[in-house]
Structure 1
Amino acid sequence: MKITLILLLLCSLWPAAVNAQSPTRAITDPTGRSVTLPAEPRRVVSLAPGITEMIFALEREEILLGTTQFSNHPPAAKQIPRIGSYVQPDLERIVALRPDLVLATRDGNPRRVIERLEALNIPVFAIDPRNLAEIKASLSALGTVLNAEAQAAALVADMEARLARLRRLTAQIEHRPLVFFQVDAAPMVSVGEETFLHELIILAGGRNAAAGGPAYPRFGWEQILTLQPEVTIITSMAGGQSPEELRRAWEQWPQLNAVQNGRVHVVDADLFDRPTHRLLDGLEILARLIQPQIMAPAPAAAEPER
């Protein structure tokens, strides 16, 4: 314990010494907090897999010294030292890396850890991406903080172009099928209106079977049989089961419309669980599953006549 306290004390003095010699700037983060941080951050720690993805997308990974347990995209992120999990970051590991900036999220990272870091003179910049508009705002904010404005602008422009294309395709759809989006299996959990996944379902041309309730409502099979969803989407991390096990749980109820029509799909959780620019990949997959007639893959080029 004594060694730990000494380590924390010595490391807490390091960022203060650096900041005293390096230019700083005051900036308001997307959560409304005013933060004084280095004008040129050089030693960054990420407290969420989504933030890590954004740092790589902004081409600033060379300054990333530490990240959380499940940061696995892109593959190079797996080589970054771990500082604990998203919900339980290890304060000692973070401080030992001597960061001049920590990037956090309002939803998920413990407030007590943020407060301890700030008490140790380590600036914490937080984002709060709860929907697609806020994801774009978070990318722009991180681009400003990490001096990657051009990269951020390009990512945001790509998101906007893809959203515009999808809106054009779904503007004339005649039927919006009822979609049950499963994010956990034991208990069965879906997504309500106060989630970005609800936004994706609507944009993809569906209706959310769990709309009108809490953000993450629980369901029993009797309720699902009453709802009769036409399409079921299951994230691959639901309950820690394999895709085959997740599908079999639904296929034991052949009276369900989604089962009868072969519309029970398991999708990559990483494309749907993380509020990053990659949600557009997930959204386009979702649109193909919900509205296959308008989102079918481009046909192969015809062979030349002989």
Structure 2
Amino acid sequence: MGTFIKPSLERIITLKPDLVITSALTDDNLNNGLKSNNIEAKRIQANSIEEIFTNFMEVAKMLGKENEANKIIAEKRAKLEEIKKMAAINKKGLFVMSASPLMVFGNDNLPNDIMKLLNIKNIAENQKGRNPIVTPEFIIKENPDIIITLLPNPSQIVATNPQLKNVNAIKNNKFIVVNSSQILRGSPRTIDQIEEIAKAVTK
């Protein structure tokens, strides 16, 4: 089937789907190719928790599954209310995408919205771009208490940037590793990942 970002158009066509859901990360050529083969393609991207629910309901309507979607959304909203009760107090954080370069999540995206929900101040919120590259000096100055990362091995961050060793999050080993698919492909399952982050923050 190819990769998440570049699926195989030929393979998808052989499966004869009525509808294909793609994301903002998916190659534009795929959507164009699907449409030229009379296959409906719906591109969705969640930049906030609320957009997860909006997108989910949109797809549910296309599939005639609104009742089921309403039930799932109600369950996840109830879970979010419980998660809010676990919110951090006066914590600064950073959501790291890669260690070299130090690419992070800035504003106007799902990771930033998750941090807001958990009352964690994103130190990169005012950096330019959705995924700005920051310097070790910037991180040292802002001194985050928590580092959330998509990297399966967060020690890479210190290995490639040893000058960060005295940052609070690193000194106190406050790394939270998250499931990249649940963060980059916002869906109701993302709420379960947010719950895991909240539990890790409050340990």
Paired-residue identity, %: 23
For residue 131 of structure 1, what is the aligned residue in structure 2?
A: 48
- Once structures 1 and 2 are overlaid, which stretch shifts more, 191-200 or 222-231? 222-231
Deviation at 1:149, TM superposition (A): 2.2
Specify the code of the residue in structure 1 equivalent to 2:92.
Answer: L
For residue 101 of structure 1, what is the aligned residue in structure 2?
A: 19
RMSD over aligned CA atoms reads 2.3
Query: 65, 70, 74: which is aligned to 1:148?
Result: 65
For residue 49 of structure 1, what is the aligned residue in structure 2?
A: none
1:103-118 → structure 2 map (5 Å cutoff): 103-105=21-23, 107-118=24-35
For residue 234 of structure 1, what is the aligned residue in structure 2?
A: 149
1:119 to 2:36 alignment = yes
For residue 88 of structure 1, what is the aligned residue in structure 2?
A: 6
Specify the code of the residue in structure 2 equivalent to 1:284.
Answer: E
**What do residues 181-234 of structure 1 show as CA deviations (whole Å, max 9, x unaligned)?**
111112111111111100101111210010112211112212211121111122
Query: Does structure 2 conserve the Cα–Cα contact (< 8 Å) formed by 1:247 and 1:264?
Result: no
Check 1:264–1:251 CA distance in 2 against 1; reply closer, same or farther (3 A cut): farther
Answer with 1 or 2: which has the greater Rg. 1
Query: 99, 112, 123: which is aligned to 1:198?
Result: 112
**What do residues 99-129 of structure 1 show as CA deviations (whole Å, max 9, x unaligned)?**
2322223x12233322232222222233332
Q: Which runs of 5+ in 2 are unaligned?
A: none
CA distance in 2: counterparts of 1:265 and 1:122, whole angstroms: 40
Check 1:88–1:270 CA distance in 2 against 1; reply closer, same or farther (3 A cut): closer
Number of paired residues?
202
Specify the code of the residue in structure 2 equivalent to 1:158.
Answer: E
TM-score (norm 1): 0.59
Higher relative contact order (CA 8 A, sep 6+): 2
**What do residues 242-267 of structure 1 show as CA deviations (whole Å, max 9, x unaligned)?**
34545655676432122233323333
CA distance in 2: counterparts of 1:181 and 1:224, whole angstroms: 11
1:161 to 2:46 alignment = no
Query: 189, 192, 215: which is aligned to 2:130?
Result: 215
**What do residues 158-203 of structure 1 show as CA deviations (whole Å, max 9, x unaligned)?**
1211122233454xx6x32110111111211111111110010111
Query: Does structure 1 conserve the Cα–Cα contact (< 8 Å) formed by 2:45 and 2:186?
Result: no
TM-score (norm 2): 0.86
